[in-house]
Amino acid sequence: DAEITQSPRHKITETGRQVTLACHQTWNHNNMFWYRQDLGHGLRLIHYSYGVHDTNKGEVSDGYSVSRSNTEDLPLTLESAASSQTSVYFCASSESWETQYFGPGTRLLVL
């Protein structure tokens, strides 16, 4: 069955370190998204991609970057981790403007 996976599921890092969160989908979807989930804010869009080599900034993109070198993967990089980036991160994919499919999430703690 097609699926979307994220790794690691849990990560503890220190302020200033570079961190990369992986997202891999086997749906063969063109569209992929990164969100962060924080209490009181729901899900906020960080970056998204509509295809290989396409990337776009979302609502809260400062301090984050993505690259899309193939259809299946959209890694999210925190260039220099900050305590404000402690959050739960979700990756999602979709074929069209209908129905996004979500990964299980990565819980990141920045000390």
Contacting positions for another protein (CB under 8 A): 31, 33, 35, 40-43, 45, 48, 50, 58, 90, 92, 94, 96-105
Q: Tokens 């070198």 label which residue? A: 69
The least distance separating another protein from the CB of residue 79, rounded to whole angstroms, comes to: 24
* Closer of 16 and 104 to another protein (Cβ): 104
Residue 60: closest CA among 27, 26, 33, 35: 35
SS3 84: helix
* Strands annotated E in 8-63: 10-13, 19-25, 31-38, 42-51, 54-57
* Closer of 14 and 42 to another protein (Cβ): 42
The least distance separating another protein from the CB of residue 1, rounded to whole angstroms, comes to: 14
The least distance separating another protein from the CB of residue 84, rounded to whole angstroms, comes to: 18
